[in-house]
Structure 1
Amino acid sequence: MTTSLKRERYTPYITFTRKEWAERSGDAMLQLHDYDLEPLHGMNEPLTKEEIQQVYLPLAQLLNLYVTSSQQLHNATSKFLSSHESKVPYIIGIAGSVAVGKSTTARVLQRLLQGWSNHPKVDLVTTDGFLYPNKVLEANNLMNRKGFPESYDIKRLIHFLADVKSGKEKVAAPLYSHLEYDVLPGQLQWIERPDIVIVEGVNVLQVRPRQQQKDPAVYVSDFFDFSIYVDAAEKDIRKWYISRFETLRKTAFQSPDSFFHRYAHLSDTATVELATQIWEDINKPNLEQNIAPTKFRSSLILEKGHHHFVQSIQLRKI
């Protein structure tokens, strides 16, 4: 037994160092070529074959075990009940702060999980599409709280997940444009009987107290079969956010269609000052008040170091 396993014996999680975790990949072969990496990594976020082989491939193998077990249980239950109901999708939730890299984690896992023959159809849905449109946020004075729990149409998101988990053949999710910084009216992503659905977003593990009777009695995470929290030190996430904002100012913000086009003319110093202010006023409070407290509700925690690479993994005991 390794030192880390001994140390965590009486916690809900088993902790693995990166080296210990990488050993779980066994003899599996990675079928990812260099040209496959470009569409997977995020802006200003390094992604290497080593990171995929040592961190994400073992995670994908573990998830394959969970999905396969779920499928076997479905078959056994169907036989016992003499039922011919089709299996429902296995849902994986991915949470974490803005700029921590959860979108990259979602894309890499989608790509890897598609490699198994028993679950080749893997869809990825981000909760950005379930934000209220800007006109609704503006009317309710919520534009500066975008990403906070109250800025999402949670009822619509729950109905979407309920339809997916009920085995509905075709389910629609709204689409969001980061360029326009708004939900795209009338544009939808159709989910059609996938084997796995990955749901990624800052808010997916949040549970709000039922202060009003109209609040939902169920929560987004109730529909998850497995959940992942991408973690890092606040000072590192802050640095990554500012770096990403600087890059966006030189690229996407230059487009007249960008919601943030007004910032395209800023100097380097003014850009850093603005990004820092946004982090301190909006993203940091949301992280501390709403996102970070949900970390230990997850099935697995990926802890990143200052270099943006995963350095340890915590897996909930079963």
Structure 2
Amino acid sequence: MDQLVPSQFSPYRFFAAEEWGRFRAGQPLTLTEEEVRRLRSLGDPVDLDEVGRIFLPISRLLSAHVEASQLLFRQRRRFLEGQDSVKTPFIIGIAGSVAVGKSTTARILKELLARWPSSPKVDLVTTDGFLYPNAVLDAEGLMRRKGFPESYDVPRILRFLSDLKAGVRHVEAPVYSHLVYDVVKGASVAVDQPDILIFEGLNVLQVRPMPPDGKAVPFVSDFFDYAIYIDAEEADIRRWYLDRFMRLRDTAFRDPQSFFHRYAAIGETEALDIAEGLWRDINARNLHENILPTRPRADLILHKGENHRVDQVALRKL
């Protein structure tokens, strides 16, 4: 049975975009059109109208979950007679394919959440920085599997999230450069006890085989308080990926420092063939093998139509 088809047996409630927009409940929009243009990724057409219809209700829902989590923390602290003294961040995981709009979603939600009346401290970290450096991937023969689960330093991700949940101050997260397509050696950002952390990446909802002896196997998503999956039909994701590649060929790839600079000088047909190959051999495989299977683990699924705008929201029932 497909849990993502509306039925009495599905663990989700389904809402069309316009219906979902009613849950904004009169909340004022705190972003401007210019800010939305700055926050959205290349090729993502999200505008102020969609922010108000889709993302503002989501931020309202997330704020309710954060408040409930804080209340539970206070109640548990009383139960434990003050032993649980460090309030830890509410962690939101955002997953989905390449080119589907994860980064735009993460950045917009970060801004909306930070502008709620309580003014929570909100940080955003992506899993890109936790990729192994290209030199390591080259040595291990994994460059063609960059973005697959084995290309990430998962133990480092787990330490990072574990430290945050333990209340450690100034936890370091590595930095990634999309220009040079590699982790920036020696660079990091410090995450210092935020109220909310948004953790965005391809495989953040990934699980591993369970051990037959029943011993604990930590998953990245074990540290999440809420999980969002950005969904779309594969044909649409493929088209968005190819369009983005061709746009980058005329923009960022022209920078001599770009890892993909060599693609800026080739013809359009050859460049499109290369993009098709990258999609077919890497990104589509990763989608089918690792990303799409994690979709039912999300608390909220945002489905995008062919115009790259959210047309359906699936909310997990309580």
TM-score > 0.5 by shorter chain: yes
What TM-score, normalized by structure 1, do the two folds share?
0.95
1:67 corresponds in structure 2 to 66
Matched residue SS, 1:14 = strand
Alpha-carbon distance in 1 for matches of 2:120, 2:65: 15
Change (3 A) 1:274 1:169: same
Contact 2:37–2:47 at 8 Å: present in 1 too?
Answer: no
Report the CA distance between 1:170 and its aligned residue.
Answer: 1.3
Contact 1:91–1:223 at 8 Å: present in 2 too?
Answer: yes
TM-align CA RMSD: 1.7
What TM-score, normalized by structure 2, do the two folds share?
0.95
- Give the % identical residues: 50
2:33 corresponds in structure 1 to 34
Change (3 A) 1:134 1:216: farther
2:11 corresponds in structure 1 to 12
Report the CA distance between 1:9 and its aligned residue.
Answer: 2.9
Contiguous gaps of at least 5 residues in structure 2: none
Alpha-carbon distance in 2 for matches of 1:136, 1:271: 27
1:80 corresponds in structure 2 to 79
Report the CA distance between 1:212 and its aligned residue.
Answer: 11
Letter in 2 for 1:36: E
Contact 1:68–1:118 at 8 Å: present in 2 too?
Answer: no
Residues 1:179 and 2:179 are matched in the alignment: yes
Letter in 2 for 1:20: E
Matched residue SS, 1:294 = helix
Runs of 4+, deviation exceeding 4 Å: 210-213
Matched residue SS, 1:175 = strand
Letter in 2 for 1:64: S
Alpha-carbon distance in 2 for matches of 1:174, 1:271: 31
1:141 corresponds in structure 2 to 141
1:101-155 deviation digits (Å, cap 9, x = unpaired): 0110000100100012435210000000000000000000000000001100001
1:230 corresponds in structure 2 to 230
2:266 corresponds in structure 1 to 266
Contiguous gaps of at least 5 residues in structure 1: 1-5
Report the CA distance between 1:268 and its aligned residue.
Answer: 1.5
2:150 corresponds in structure 1 to 150
Residues 1:118 and 2:118 are matched in the alignment: yes
1:22 corresponds in structure 2 to 21
1:223-253 deviation digits (Å, cap 9, x = unpaired): 0000000000000000000000001111111
Alpha-carbon distance in 1 for matches of 2:49, 2:74: 37
2:292 corresponds in structure 1 to 292
Report the CA distance between 1:86 and its aligned residue.
Answer: 2.6
1:3 corresponds in structure 2 to none
Letter in 2 for 1:41: R
Contact 2:95–2:204 at 8 Å: present in 1 too?
Answer: yes
1:266-308 deviation digits (Å, cap 9, x = unpaired): 1121111111111001000000111000000111100000000
1:159-195 deviation digits (Å, cap 9, x = unpaired): 1000011111110000000000000011001100100
Contact 1:119–1:195 at 8 Å: present in 2 too?
Answer: no
Matched residue SS, 2:276 = helix
Contact 1:8–1:15 at 8 Å: present in 2 too?
Answer: no
2:168 corresponds in structure 1 to 168
Alpha-carbon distance in 2 for matches of 1:229, 1:134: 27
1:280 corresponds in structure 2 to 280
Alpha-carbon distance in 1 for matches of 2:26, 2:248: 40
